[in-house]
Amino acid sequence: MTRTGAYGERLGEFLRLEEAPPTLVTRSLRSTELAVTETRNDNPVPGLSGSFAAEDAYLVSLKLRDYPECEIWGEGRHIKKADVYAGTTYLYDLKTDPRYVIDKPFHSIHFYVPHSALDGLADQSGTRRIDVVDCSPVGHDDAIVRHIGATLQEGLRRPAEANQLFIDYMMLALTAHVAQAYGGFRHKAETSPGALPPWQLARACDKLEADIGGKLPLQAIAAELGLSVSHFSRAFRASTGLPPYRWLLHHRVRTAKRLMSVRGLSLFEVAISVGFANQSHFTRVFSEIAGISPGAWRRDALGTASGER
């Protein structure tokens, strides 16, 4: 059986890596699998890359390291040599067997986007489907891909701390950007949602609060309200000022404050109780949102000189 999906272990094999690279996966669009993978090799064995099974999908590649005189191949033949610069974005059509000569150290973040995800975005918006995505072998100065890549890089390095809502939201944003910037996709003006009705907002918040660990996918919450993922995400942000994953982080911090007001619970116990992977992750998020460390907040709240940090 032909294996498809240019991410994770298969992407590692394509680049001849010894171990499967770190990958985050989501199914937030029509149950279509999307993924982001970080690949790096500081001492590669020279040779031509592997080959992917042909599929109707794209690889959006953010380069994190210069790669001079990159020899690019497609459809079984040499296409061109080009200097690839850190910070640029390349798009590859996986129907054309994209390959390149590996003869220098490399470091990249790759987004796997099936065309069916783009179709789902168009169908949800009631607009015409995208026929062609621009996959010309040129580097793009794409600030949005750089921002999403940098944001997801933290999750790739600490996957236990990346909740599913966060991965869903960032990959939804990446897919919409690729559709607009390289496929000519445009939302209909009348489909832009306002705020959620109070009953929908209350139900969405109840669902988020009940899954404090953030394991519930955006698709499940949107389906509960009879909305598309993209419509729900935009309307929820219009209602609360925050995307769902950020709203959940603020809720975790609020819940942690209530727990820390009770003497006897350690900060580790509080962190686990409100859905964080560990105390270090809890401290970073709490400090960012509250502007003070959990230990300092507790000392102020309890009026004690406790040495707990």
Element (H, E) at 82: strand 77-84
Helices (H), the chain: 8-14, 115-125, 143-157, 164-183, 198-210, 218-224, 229-240, 244-260, 267-273, 279-290, 294-302
CATH number for the region 247-302 comes to 1.10.10.60
Cα separation values, 230 from 22, 48, 145, 238, Å: 26, 39, 18, 12
In this prediction, what percent of the chain has a pLDDT beyond 70? Answer: 94
Q: Residue 60 contacts by C-beta under 8 Å, 6 or more apart in sequence? A: 89, 90, 91, 92, 110, 111, 113, 145, 174, 178
What is the per-residue pLDDT across 117-170, written as a single tens digit (0 to 9) for each?
A: 998 888 877 788 898 899 988 999 999 999 999 999 989 998 888 888 999 999
Cα separation values, 214 from 105, 127, 249, Å: 36, 31, 9
Which tops the pLDDT comparison, 263 or 245? 245
Is 305 a residue whose pLDDT tops 80?
no
Is 3 a residue whose pLDDT tops 70?
no
Tokens of 72: 């690019």
Report yes or no: 145 and 174 within 8 Å, Cβ to Cβ. Answer: yes
* Predicted local distance difference test score (pLDDT) of residue 304: 56
What is the per-residue pLDDT across 41-97, written as a single tens digit (0 to 9) for each?
A: 999 999 999 999 899 999 999 999 999 999 999 988 999 999 999 999 999 999 999
In this prediction, what percent of the chain has a pLDDT beyond 90? Answer: 66
Could you tell me the pTM of the whole model?
A: 0.84
* Predicted local distance difference test score (pLDDT) of residue 287: 96
Cβ neighbourhood burial of 286 (10 Å; 0-12, 13-18, 19+):
buried
* Predicted local distance difference test score (pLDDT) of residue 236: 93
Instruction: Return the domain boundaries, the chain.
Output: 8-183, 193-241, 247-302
Report yes or no: 233 and 169 within 8 Å, Cβ to Cβ. Answer: yes
Which tops the pLDDT comparison, 302 or 197? 197
* Predicted local distance difference test score (pLDDT) of residue 38: 97
DSSP-assigned beta bridge partners for residue 92: 59
Q: Residue 200 contacts by C-beta under 8 Å, 6 or more apart in sequence? A: 225, 227, 235
Q: Residue 28 — very low, low, confident or very high, per pLDDT cuts 50/70/90?
A: low
What CATH class is the domain 8-183? mainly beta
What is the per-residue pLDDT across 229-240, written as a single tens digit (0 to 9) for each?
A: 888 988 999 999
Phi and psi torsions of 148, nearest 5°: -65, -40
Report yes or no: 262 and 269 within 8 Å, Cβ to Cβ. Answer: no
